[in-house]
Structure 1
Amino acid sequence: MAPKRKATWYGKRTKISRELQIVIIVGLTLKSLETFLLTVKGKKTEHIIGVVKDDNSHHFKIFMNLLFWGEGMQQISVWWDERFTRKTELFPDKISNLRGSILKACMFDVKPLIYTVKDTNGTILERHGRDIDVAQALSEIFNFTLVYVDIADEWGNLLPNGTFTGLVGFLGRDEGQMGLAYLYSTGLDDRHKHHEYSRPIDDDKTCFLARIQPPLPAWQNPSLPFQADTWIAFMIGLLLSGPIFYALVMASSAVGKEDSHYGSILSSSLCTIGIHFSHPMAVMPKRPSSQIFIAFLLIYSLILSIGYRSNLTSFLTIARTPKKIETFKDLYDSGFSIKGFQWFYNAFNHSGNFYLRKLLERYEIRDTFEEIVQDIMSGRSTTINSKALLEMTSTLMRTKKGKPLVRFLKECLSTYTVGIGFQLHSPLKPKFDRAIAMLVESGIVRKWSLQASEIYRELVEKEGGVTYYKDDWYASTDGVIPLGLSHMQGIFAVFSLGYILSTIAFAVEVLSC
């Protein structure tokens, strides 16, 4: 195949210049020219000009390859007397209009990104997915007929002889012109030596998906308005205020008699405990020292009470969630297992991240995504996959009210581009790339992605394949929130504890008599 060069020629009125990939062959016969067309270079060169000398004259017949327009060579002119006998275009554009040529595109289901709808007999009725829509758009732009070839073994595996099975092998053996299977650009196993990638139609990342954890138990709510050090200080004040008040009462008795109501340490302690919990005093102390102590105790208790009550309202009405897992380190520290496919296990094994390699100890390989979904919804597992695939799948993991039950971790494994596969050195790629770029820039490819996701969800719902999960722990945020038993269970627990302690105290009194 000749290298690319600038081809320039002059017509009667216009000058045309473009980048061309040209092969000019001088052959003995037309058959020898057509033999060259059977080679790899012959099949993938857009412009091939053949020259054959006429046996009975000094004329030279000029032939042109048809590429996708047909088979063999077509005579377009004759060179005689240092000129062409017929005015013709030697290098017509054979890609912009493929004249209804049949192009094969291999594919397989990558649910929910690419999928087929079949009847009970297994006959394919419809095909959906962003890549399918892009290929259909290309068929309209370039006027070709698209024929789908369903393949097994998905993207394919490297064989000992250096070839591939699946989609990579399909394109590598030139059995079709395009590959549609959410094909991400990678040099894994030297796949780029077997086929080419189109311009990106999307970019994606490999991310972790985990279930949104339910709120922490509501019975803890009454203890949450204060931090631990505040509670410790409160308990010290509660326990010491009674004895201190009793000591002041006893000391004041030397100057003037204090009310007998506070003549014991028990009665003094009950009085100060009551003040802590906003209970009014039955009898005011008589001595100034006691009155000053009680006055400041009242101020102290009032501020604590107001702070506790106002903060308690927030904790009763707003659900508290556990600390979110956002990084690889958080995931490792959480003890969660990882459920995923074999490919990502291999990626972890070659990763330079310490925590990802350590997570291999908890990585469990699964064969189907349905198994992975069940593991995630158990609440103690995560999975890793394409973010686009997980975003679409996550629409099936929600409550009846449409609230999400899963979330992405902020730290992702890798970023890559996604495109369509072509044969190596395919003459289609340059112009198809420009068309794909226009489709992406217009925003219609993103629209097709959203449509494919919605259609897939509707199909799964129609087949009864959507499992809705309980949303009891979701609190409504519309209007005023009435406090239910789930909000107040903590104080009922305290009340029950009081019953139990009073019963124990009664039993001790009876036994001590």
Structure 2
Amino acid sequence: MWITVLLVLLITGAIFYCLARFYTNLLQYQSDHSHVVVTAKDQDEKPVGMYLFGDIINSILYTYGMLLVVSLPKLPTGWAIRLLTGWYWLYCILLVVSYRASMTAILANPAPRVTIDTLQELVDSKVTCGGWGTETKHFFEESIDDIGQKIGERFEMIDDPNEAATKVAQGVYAYYENEYFLKYLSVKRKNSDDKMSIETQNNSTNATVQVKLDSERNLHIMTDCVVNIPISLGFHKNSPLKPLADIYMRRTVEVGLVEKWMNDVMYPIRALDTTDNEIKALMNLKKLYGAFIALAIGYFLSLVCLLGEVIYWNCIVKRDPRFDKYAMDLYYEKKK
């Protein structure tokens, strides 16, 4: 994008310069071949505003000034340059508005997260997998597909869910459990971290408080479900109640009662998660580092250019024998 903006700046500056030179030469040609008697006053008059783009360097600088939403000192008299100036102003306004909108969106939106949402991504990531009980490990080892067998090869049993959540937050572990329990574990850990940070601020003298590391990540639940079992009931083998229970359970699931019950049970947890997301600020000082760095680079380059211009003025221009501070226009005419 910035390369395109730079190319448009150079090309537009060159077009302004060519139009200004063409218009000046055209007026000079008309005045030289005209048989109309002109006065000395009319002969000394020059096209208004042509000096802005009469030199290639000035043309690019004034074009760059329009890109920074700085108006021209004078509007040129040539209609071709006026039309080009109007369209270029429209381009500059659209570019500035889009740049400000994109920067605001970048600063306000959170950074993109790299997550694992499928079993294939989990296998390719080489992250250690684990869960509770040997039955879960045997379930993956005896799987009929290659992906489940690969997960079972590096499956590690872990009995403490909090320890598993800590490993997951460090980005080195994938914990296999029920979706709703994982949601509960995620919200519980997030709220415990918030309370811990508040206690750390209130009790600054406590040296035994565990601080959350910056390298820890928020817990993410994979969208791909390994085993989809919404609800199940246990009966004796060959129980006569199973066909009738299947009918009623299927109807219960179809009308949405199971989903409603699960939503009612998980409502306190979802309420805590929603409240946390609403309280969390979208913009903080860490996200503004990029804007501060860009401003610092711009001020540094501007200062370097200003110092270079002052050095050039004092060491080169003022030491020129033709320089006369009381007749600057004559000095620049002789220099040309």
Please indicate, yes or no, whether the TM-score normalized by the shorter chain is above 0.5: yes
Aligned residue type for 2:4: A
CA distance in 2 between partners of 1:439 and 1:338 (Å): 33
CA distance in 1 between partners of 2:309 and 2:66 (Å): 27
Q: Is the counterpart of residue 306 in structure 1 residue 97 in structure 2?
A: yes
Q: 1:505 to 1:399 in 2, by over 3 A?
A: farther
CA distance in 1 between partners of 2:247 and 2:185 (Å): 27
The structure showing larger relative contact order (alpha-carbon pairs under 8 Å, at least 6 residues apart) is: 1
Q: 1:277 aligned to 54, 64, 68, which one?
A: 68
Contact 1:327 1:410 in 2 (8 A): yes
CA distance in 2 between partners of 1:450 and 1:347 (Å): 31
CA distance in 1 between partners of 2:9 and 2:264 (Å): 61
Q: 2:190 aligned to 375, 395, 398, which one?
A: 398
Aligned residue type for 1:493: I
Aligned residue type for 1:414: V
Q: 1:266 aligned to 57, 64, 87, which one?
A: 57
SS, match of residue 255 in structure 1: helix
Aligned residue type for 1:371: E
Q: Is the counterpart of residue 501 in structure 1 residue 292 in structure 2?
A: no
Considering only CA atoms, is the larger Rg found in Structure 1 or Structure 2?
1
Structure (1 or 2) with the greater helix fraction: 2
Q: Deviations over 1:336-371 (max 9, x none)?
A: 443435544443344344444455676554343232
CA distance in 2 between partners of 1:333 and 1:411 (Å): 15
Partner of 1:237: 8
CA RMSD of aligned residues (A): 4.7
CA distance in 1 between partners of 2:307 and 2:153 (Å): 55
Q: Is the counterpart of residue 386 in structure 1 residue 178 in structure 2?
A: yes
Q: 1:346 to 1:237 in 2, by over 3 A?
A: farther
Q: 2:143 aligned to 351, 374, 384, which one?
A: 351
CA distance in 1 between partners of 2:300 and 2:139 (Å): 57
CA distance in 2 between partners of 1:304 and 1:448 (Å): 50
Offset at residue 327 of structure 1 (A): 1.8
Q: 1:352 to 1:506 in 2, by over 3 A?
A: farther
Q: 1:346 to 1:438 in 2, by over 3 A?
A: closer
CA distance in 2 between partners of 1:482 and 1:384 (Å): 31
SS, match of residue 272 in structure 1: helix
* TM superposition score normalised by structure 1: 0.40
Q: Deviations over 1:52-90 (max 9, x none)?
A: xxxxxxxxxxxxxxxxxxxxxxxxxxxxxxxxxxxxxxx
Q: 1:505 to 1:358 in 2, by over 3 A?
A: farther
Partner of 2:331: none
Offset at residue 448 of structure 1 (A): 10
SS, match of residue 415 in structure 1: coil
Offset at residue 251 of structure 1 (A): 2.9
Q: Is the counterpart of residue 371 in structure 1 residue 166 in structure 2?
A: no
Aligned residue type for 1:326: D
CA distance in 2 between partners of 1:360 and 1:430 (Å): 36
Q: 1:319 to 1:385 in 2, by over 3 A?
A: same
Offset at residue 495 of structure 1 (A): 0.2
The 5 A counterparts of 1:80-479 are 230-256=1-27, 259-322=50-113, 324-332=115-123, 336-341=127-132, 343-359=135-151, 363-379=155-171, 381-399=173-191, 406-416=219-229, 418-420=232-234, 476=279
Q: Deviations over 1:210-269 (max 9, x none)?
A: xxxxxxxxxxxxxxxxxxxx5543332133222332232233331235532333323211
Offset at residue 333 of structure 1 (A): 5.0
Aligned residue type for 1:270: L
SS, match of residue 279 in structure 1: coil
Offset at residue 375 of structure 1 (A): 0.9
CA distance in 1 between partners of 2:83 and 2:262 (Å): 77
Partner of 1:102: none
SS, match of residue 295 in structure 1: helix
Aligned residue type for 1:491: A
Partner of 2:322: none
Contact 1:248 1:289 in 2 (8 A): yes
Contact 1:339 1:375 in 2 (8 A): no
Q: 1:504 to 1:386 in 2, by over 3 A?
A: same
Partner of 1:58: none
SS, match of residue 15 in structure 2: helix
CA distance in 1 between partners of 2:304 and 2:108 (Å): 34
Contact 1:319 1:475 in 2 (8 A): no
CA distance in 1 between partners of 2:182 and 2:57 (Å): 65
Aligned residue type for 2:224: E
CA distance in 1 between partners of 2:89 and 2:67 (Å): 8
* TM superposition score normalised by structure 2: 0.57
CA distance in 2 between partners of 1:348 and 1:314 (Å): 43
Which runs of 5 or more structure 1 residues have no equivalent in the other structure? Answer: 1-229, 458-467
Q: 1:293 to 1:373 in 2, by over 3 A?
A: same
Aligned residue type for 1:366: I
Contact 2:129 2:175 in 1 (8 A): yes
SS, match of residue 338 in structure 1: strand
Offset at residue 284 of structure 1 (A): 1.8
